[in-house]
Amino acid sequence: MGAKGKGYGKASGAGTVINAIATYKGSAFGIDLWTYAEVELGRDFKGIEGEIELEGARETSADTRLIERCMELVLRKFDLPLRGYVRTRSEIPVGSGLKSSSAAANASVVATLDAIGEEANVLDAIRIGVDAALDVGVSITGAFDDACASLLGGFVITDNKSRELIKRTEKDSEVLILAPREKAFTADTDVKQSRLIAPWVNIAYELALEERFEDAMTLNGFLYCAALNFDPEPMVKALECGVQGVSLSGTGPSFVALVDEEKRVRLGEVWSGLGVEGKIIRSRVNNKQSFS
């Protein structure tokens, strides 16, 4: 075990440009909402234990398998005893399509590496979290695109099957998020229906490769609203406000829009009038890598 014994990590949430479920090719961007992880190692622990804190309180019913598995995979990689404690706290709504799982996995991996005093290539660290997400069943593709956006920041384009980062670029923008109270977990998604829209998702992916991210995410959003049975009204309202880039994020239920200040104010008023139970979150694109 490294000399430290305690470690810390953080990773951001992310929004969807291209949902990778249909084609295994995805694109996402970092959002300035964060998950923080703290890891403690020592012989006093009987095994690996996890704790999730939400809104300042321990969430006793939360599923800690993902963060525990991340810690376990890092310790196994360096042939260290599987004893320790991992705790996360997050600003990202859970089950909202804002990549809370990818952020939790990344933060836990980074904190464990910090605790043992080891370094890893950033993509290798991301892949550990992706493996953990697949192992515990919280992701369909492993969400390599979401994980890259979460830890690298900026806009990323990936091949989730080969776990290859195709492109990363930075773009400044405000982000407005409509986050309904209801939850929609990726593991429950109708994959067969999503695969039906693959030819048109490929068109959106080509737009992303050209860095036409707003056009790509809007096409992606309408396609996945149809495939996953979400009402596209929040997207239509955004277009009426002059917003070019708006999408269902992940498998929903949140919607994300890239906006300037004027459109943010306008869209915020319009979305508030939809009567959706939940909250509207104002944020920005995160372009900073949170791993060094």
Residue 112 and residue 205 in one domain: no
* Mean pLDDT on 29-38: 98
pLDDT band for position 291 (cuts 50, 70, 90): confident
Residue where a domain stops, chosen among 169, 184, 208: 169
- Compute CA distances 239 → 110, 190, 214, 235, 270, whole Å: 39, 27, 11, 6, 11
182 found inside a domain: yes
- In this prediction, residues 152-159 reach a mean pLDDT of 98
Does residue 1 lie within any of the structural domains?
no
CA distance 230 to 171: 28
Residues 189, 63 within the same domain = no
Which residue would you say has higher pLDDT here, 75 or 1? 75
Q: What average pLDDT score do residues 23-38 get?
A: 97
Average of per-residue pLDDT across 115-138: 94
Max Cα–Cα distance, the chain, nearest Å: 59
**CATH code, 185:** 3.30.70.890
Is residue 118 included in any domain, yes or no?
A: yes
Helix axes 144-152 and 100-116, enclosed angle (nearest 10): 60
Whether residue 291 lies inside any domain: the answer is no
Return the axis-axis angle of helices 65-77 and 122-136, rounded to nearest 10°: 130
In a domain, 289, yes or no: no
In angstroms, the Cα distances linking 38 to 49, 52, 86, 106 are 12, 11, 6, 12
Same domain, 117 and 188: no
Listed residues 107, 136, 169: the one ending a domain = 169
Same domain (yes/no): 142, 266: no
pTM of the entire predicted model: 0.94
Percent of the chain with pLDDT over 70: 93
pLDDT in tens, 216-261: 999 999 999 999 999 999 999 999 999 999 999 999 999 999 999 9
147 with 24, same domain: the answer is yes
Q: What range does the domain containing 22 cover?
A: 6-169
**Segment among 1-15, 112-126, 129-143 with least mean pLDDT:** 1-15
Greater pLDDT, 144 or 141: 144
Q: CB within 8 A of 198, min separation 6: which ones?
A: 22, 23
Last residue of a domain, one of 136, 169, 202: 169
Q: Return the structure tokens found at 193.
A: 């229906």
Q: What CATH number has the domain bearing residue 38?
A: 3.30.230.10
pLDDT category, 170, cuts 50, 70, 90? very high
In a shared domain, residues 51 and 188: no
In a domain, 265, yes or no: yes
Look at the chain and report how many structural domains it folds into.
2
In a domain, 218, yes or no: yes
- Same domain for 204 and 253, yes or no, is yes
Same domain, 67 and 158: yes
Is 180 found in the same domain as 62?
no
d(CA 259, CA 133) in angstroms, rounded, equals 31
What percent of the chain clears pLDDT 90, i.e. is strictly above it?
A: 82
pLDDT at 1 > cutoff 60: no
pLDDT at 142: 83
pLDDT of residue 189 exceeding 90: no
**Is 158 in the same domain as 259?**
no
Q: How confident is the model at residue 3 (pLDDT cuts 50, 70, 90)?
A: very low
Q: What digits encode the pLDDT tens for the residues 41-84?
A: 988 888 999 999 876 667 667 889 999 999 999 999 999 999 99
Q: Same structural domain for residues 95 and 211?
A: no
Residue 290 included in any domain: no
Q: Are residues 90 and 121 in the same domain?
A: yes
pLDDT of 184 over the 80 cut: no
Which comes out higher in pLDDT, residue 10 or 57? 10
